Structure 1
Amino acid sequence: MNISSWIVLALNLFLFALFARLILDYVRMFRPGWRPTGIILPVAEIIYMITDKPLGFIRRFIPPLRMGPVALDLSFIVLFFGTQILIAFIR
């Protein structure tokens, strides 16, 4: 395996973590009292640790889009498509 294959693998693992964060966020949105316990707790901490910095960086430049009482966070969408474009460029 050359270096580009390792980079693509790392980016794909990051996309997997991004989807896992999306699932965790939706679970917390539909069940506000839910907190991860047991084996899910360290997994959730790792997922949030991996994805918080990139999402926070993008949020500094692209704030959530306000639509009345609802705010649409575009940072996830931008990060997802940006990672996909980066993977396509490296391949």
Structure 2
Amino acid sequence: MTSIFQILMLLLDIVWFVIIAHVIMSWLINFQVLNLHQDLVRQIWYGLNRLLEPLYGPVRRVLPQMGGLDLAPLVVLIGVAVLRIILINNAAAFY
């Protein structure tokens, strides 16, 4: 059961990293540091969007429209942090 706990924590760490990379990349694209006309940048951007849209979609449907501000990544990051706290506090159930 320890391995299940470690696998879940690893998956949450990967999701955390991918969301942070997506947020940073969106800032760099919006401030025109990165250009979507470059093939590598475009492929990474669309890949991250396809990976994260199943997480962001339901959150975006619940959140009110904030103009150009997307709070879905923040809500998902908070959700990942909450899941990590719950798993750590209940780690004894995995042993």
User: TM-score, normalization: structure 2?
Assistant: 0.75
Which moves more between the two structures, 55-64 or 24-33?
A: 24-33
How do 1:4-23 residues align onto structure 2 when only pairs under 5 Å count?
A: 4-23=5-24
Partner in structure 1 of residue 59 of structure 2 = 58
Alignment partner of 1:76 out of 73, 76, 82: 73
Equivalent residue letter for 2:56: L
Give 5+ residue unaligned stretches, structure 2. 89-95
Q: Name whichever structure is richer in helix by fraction.
A: 2
Q: CA deviation at 1:26?
A: 0.5
Kept in 2: contact 1:65–1:72 (CA 8 A): yes
Partner in structure 2 of residue 25 of structure 1 = 26
Q: Name whichever structure is richer in strand by fraction.
A: 1
Matched positions, count:
87
Equivalent residue letter for 2:47: I
Equivalent residue letter for 2:69: L
SS of aligned partner of 1:58: helix
Looking at structure 1, the residues matched to 16 and 37 of structure 2 have their Cα atoms a distance apart, in angstroms, of 21
After superposition, what is the alpha-carbon deviation per residue over 1:52-90, rounded to whole angstroms, capped at 9, x for unaligned?
A: 111111000013324xxxx32221111111111101111
Q: Which has the larger radius of gyration?
A: 2
Kept in 2: contact 1:65–1:73 (CA 8 A): yes
Partner in structure 1 of residue 84 of structure 2 = 87
Identity of aligned residues (%): 20
Give 5+ residue unaligned stretches, structure 1. none
CA-based RMSD of the aligned residues comes to 2.3
Looking at structure 2, the residues matched to 3 and 76 of structure 1 have their Cα atoms a distance apart, in angstroms, of 26
